[in-house]
Amino acid sequence: MGALDGVAGRVAGGETVEFRPSGASMVPLIRSRQLVAVAPVDPSKLSVGDIVLARVAGSVYLHLVSSVDAARRRVQISNNRGHVNGWTGHDRVFGICLTVDGTPRPGATAKVRKPEGATGAEDGEARP
């Protein structure tokens, strides 16, 4: 099991998790040990440039969505240095990075998966 497997399990279970990933593959978007917040994601809303927590070929990464194949319900995951990790299905995309050191990632909150049974009224949306 890798360092991010436990985080992936918590996010898949519906938690928003803050942690400090290590490594240089996402510099300058995320530097080693910067605090990130990752929330459960609705994978159908993902777009190129989103930073996601996903399992690809058995490993969990906090990397970029580099391509989207909506018809096959999958996304391509890459680091920020040009290395492509591979394609993964929506069922293996656990979360989206909301903030890096407190700075919000553009558009990320709109892609958070709502808890089962949520009506949207919790977010100030009108109920039908």
Per-residue confidence band for 128, with pLDDT thresholds at 50, 70 and 90: very low
> Is the pLDDT reported for residue 119 higher than 70?
no
> Is the pLDDT reported for residue 124 higher than 50?
no
- Kindly report the pTM of this predicted structure: 0.89
| 63 CA to centre of own chain | 8
> For residue 121, what pLDDT is reported?
52
Rg (CA), the chain: 14
The Cα 54–Cα 46 span in angstroms is 12
Q: What whole-number percentage of the chain has pLDDT above 70?
A: 90
Nearest to 99 by CA among 2, 30, 15, 22: 30
